[in-house]
Amino acid sequence: MKLSSANINVMVKACRKASKTIIRDFGEIENLQVSLKGPGDFVTASDKKVEKILINELQKARPSYSILSEEIGQINNDKSFKWIIDPIDGTANFLHGIPHFAISIGLEHDDEIICGIVYDPIKDEMFVAEKGNGSYLNNQRMRVSSRSKLKDCIVFTGGPRLDSKNKELALEEYKKFSSKILIPIRKLGSASLDMAYVAAGRCDGFWQRNLNYWDIAAGIVLVKEAGGFVTDFEGENRYVENKTILATNSRISKEMIEVLN
């Protein structure tokens, strides 16, 4: 089985088209690493090119929908439907030639994410979910993991940046989790893929502070439709306002919340 609703088909088509630019530009990164100018400007340009392709494809199919995207900000149209776009989630990885980044698109209807897609163009892994219809990886149904004890789990996080607010708090949380689990914490550098991996059962839990909506929008429905939980650090649904997100297989949510509080 695969998801094939009209909105999902629009999102898949947009990702496939934009991925050609990403793959081509990623192939140029290695050459730019040794240039005097450096690859930073090139990556910014690539980000904007990918965003433009995504927006053009989405607007062509759904001209009335609003858009929130990392680079251009907000395009206000129909308030009930909104695309949430991150053209390259994991730009630091992209910048350094590390093949772990993704295109992320969520579709919001009346303030709830109803569809999401996280596409890793290098591995050709497409994580897709739709409210009420499940989560899929390359057309195979995804379920969260069944591990129930935090100490046995693989847990992901990200940050903090050098200039992050709450930097010390984030480092303290990292230390607390490190003392509770047997396997070292993973920091892979792409929040959308971290959440997709929770949905796929590759990772048992993910927490992070100070993420933007476009970093997590698609991941929210992926995790929920795979049987997991998405909350803020207090176990509530205010993760967008509070900018604290916790995504788990549901079985370790209580333990993770206890650590975070």
Q: Residue 36 pLDDT more than 60? A: no
Q: For 155-199, give the DSSP string.
A: EEE----TT-TTHHHHHHHHHHHHTT-SSPPB--S-HHHHHHHHH
CATH topology of domain 150-260: D-Maltodextrin-Binding Protein; domain 2 (3.40.190)
| Domain boundaries of the chain, sorted by first residue | 6-141, 150-260
Beta bridge partners of 107: 83, 115
Render pLDDT for 61-81 as a digit per residue (tens, 0 to 9): 999 999 999 888 899 998 899
Per-residue pLDDT, averaged over 31-41, amounts to: 55
Question: How do residues 204-254 score in pLDDT, each as one tens digit?
Answer: 999 999 999 999 999 999 999 999 999 999 999 999 999 999 999 999 999
Give pLDDT tens digits for 125-170: 999 999 999 999 999 999 999 999 999 999 999 988 888 888 999 9
Nearest-angstrom CA–CA distance, 221 and 7: 14
The number of C-alpha atoms within 13 Å of 103 and in the hemisphere containing its C-beta is 35
* Residue 129 to residue 204: CA distance in whole angstroms: 18
CATH number given to 6-141: 3.30.540.10
